[in-house]
Chains A and B, each alone.
Chain A
Amino acid sequence: MILLLILVFIICLLIRFPIAYAIAISCLVYIVINGIPIIILPLKMYSGIDVFVLLSIPGFILAGNLMNHGGITEKIIEFCNHLFGHVRGGLSLANIGASMLFAGISGTAVSDTASIGTVMIPAMKKEGYKADYSCAVTAASSTVGPIIPPSVPMIIAATLTGLSVGKLFLAGAVPGLLLGTGFILVAYIVSKSQPHKRKPRSSVSEVLRGLSDTFWALLMTFIILFGIIGGYFTPTEASIVAVVYAALVGLFIYRKLKLKDIPRIVLDSVKTSSSLMILVGFSNLFGWILVTEGLPELISERLLGFTTNKIVILIFINLILLMVGTFMETIAALLIMFPVLLNVAVEVGVDPIQFAVIAVLNLIIGLTTPPVGVCLFVASSIGKVSIDRISIRILPFLLVSILVLILVTYIPQISLGLPGLFYD
């Protein structure tokens, strides 16, 4: 029965059903064949999204969009240009730096690619950078978005397991910084062999002015993070505080946001959130079927029957997640695979918080690999370059992602150090 469920799901994916509908249709086939009442469709959809912590997802998406419309993207990019512009390949370094800062106000990679890419890709092309390289840098660096807090995949992982969102946010911080630093190193090395122009070094006052312009955006990340860690807000409350904060900063400090723009931004954020929540709702049903069929136990038994060696099991898990992430959208893959593999990881002594970071890292790598790397598609449409060309130029950055994944997998302190410092 489980094979039929998975087969229908794969066929639906191949013929371009939206992923959420592909999940629902495979569930529907299973339900009908097994004579389960169809009322389970709306019932599981409702129970899947009636979870308090999920309220934070539209909140963080809206806060990020408000900040973006408030003009923060340009200010972040300007600041990073002051910081890195004088270095060879400075614009690619600025692109990565901007993505890391932008990650602190948005929770998804795609919004990072779109926001930073729209400004940086044309700017890099204008300065003589090759279009495929500009797109590759943008797509790769945007993958720090779902790791550095706030992170939508981390909220989903928390919803699935009841783990603390605050701990998960903290657990992603160091791996996110490692990833970004690794990308900066690669960009720097690549630039040494390219005739990229340097800009004159910015004065200290220019750098400080840039910092003061981006201060309000950086402050939002700290309010979210320390509001949750300090016990001042729940993650949902933190997301709404971020919304109010972003609106006030955009309206009264940056003054680029207009009151009349707010309903449109709210609508846009809700549409993105609705498509995500419908995916979450249908995945709740899919997960219920997998549990009913005993798939998590089956996978756990098979894997642990083969070996109980932690290193080998983690290699298997990483390979499975990398493969799934290559062919499936991050959130959908997380919703389906995370609960299934968590049992196995915990059995061999992996901390669930560390495992959440491992899973998210694995799945975000798929955002920049063909055939379904969403960030590649967004960057390619901005830079007007073929996916194939970007896919080749992105390889050194992918190696960094794999290296960070290996480090996070085998050195638990990288992900558990910060949560341990603040929570225990």
Chain B
Amino acid sequence: MKNKPNIIVPILEIGTIISAFALIFTVILQIVTRRFFTDIAPSWTEEASRFFFIYTISFGAGLAQREGYFVSMDYFYRKFNPNTKRIIDMITTSISAILFLLMSVYSIHFIVLGMEETSPGLGLPMSIAFLSMLIMSGTVLYYLLKQLINQIKSESK
């Protein structure tokens, strides 16, 4: 069976790179305007760089989960036999998925709350900034579920 092309990875990678470069550009702009044009950098630059930072981190979170960037302590885990390890893996992945499912659902509530607020510098609805939390939790959830499906498949084999 031919594998379907995965569009999530390129979307997350492009999102990460655009946000990261926008962050770099905004901070450079902040330095240049403060040093060469005015004594104080425009207030929106700090806010914009924080927005881009949170988006960079949020787009990168799913990729980090996909590639196992999260540090864990496996000293005790290594002492278990392979069967116990498999069961533990499924339990930890399932509970982590529940955590990020709740995070995703409540991120939507968070976004709704943000519709009533605007950011002081840029005047943007805060829901745009809070959307990053949904991207973060949703993509981590997606890769946790994929991991769980793979674990179940290998167990049934």
Q: Residues of A at under 8 Å CB distance from B?
A: 12-22, 24-25, 28, 38-39, 41-43, 45-46, 49-50, 52, 54-55, 58-59, 62, 232-233, 236-237, 240-241, 243-244, 263, 266-267, 270-275, 277-278, 327-329, 370-372, 374
B20 touches A58 (CB 8 A): yes
Q: Is the interface of B mostly helix, strand, loop or mixed?
A: helix
B72 touches A273 (CB 8 A): no
Q: Which residues of B contact A17 (CB under 8 A)?
A: 72, 92, 95-96
Q: What's the interface size class on B, roughly?
A: 35 or more
Q: Which residues of B contact A22 (CB under 8 A)?
A: 72
Q: Residues of B at under 8 Å CB distance from A?
A: 13, 16-17, 20-21, 23-24, 27-28, 30-31, 35, 46, 49-50, 53-54, 56-61, 63-64, 67, 69-77, 88, 91-92, 95-96, 99, 102-103, 106-107, 109-110, 113, 129-130, 132-133, 136-137
Q: Which residues of B contact A370 (CB under 8 A)?
A: 75
User: In the complex, which of the residues A21, A46, A49, A270 contacts B130, with contact meaning CB atoms closer than 8 Å?
Assistant: A46
B30 touches A237 (CB 8 A): yes
B110 touches A16 (CB 8 A): no
Q: Which residues of B contact A329 (CB under 8 A)?
A: 71, 73
A275 touches B133 (CB 8 A): no
For B14, give the chain A residue with the smallest CB separation.
Answer: A263
List 18 interface pairs A-B (beta carbons < 8 Å), by A numbering: A15-B92, A16-B74, A17-B72, A18-B71, A19-B70, A20-B70, A25-B96, A28-B102, A41-B102, A41-B106, A42-B130, A54-B53, A233-B31, A244-B28, A266-B21, A271-B67, A274-B56, A371-B76
Q: Which residues of B contact A372 (CB under 8 A)?
A: 73, 75
| Complex CA distance for A274 and B53, rounded to whole angstroms | 10
B96 touches A14 (CB 8 A): no
| Complex CA distance for A241 and B74, rounded to whole angstroms | 38
Q: Which residues of A contact B95 (CB under 8 A)?
A: 17, 25
Among B60, B75, B77, B99, the one with the most A-chain Cβ atoms within 10 Å of its Cβ is B60
Known: A20-B70, A54-B53, A274-B69. A267 touches B17 (CB 8 A): yes
| B125–chain A nearest beta-carbon distance, Å | 14
| B33–chain A nearest beta-carbon distance, Å | 12
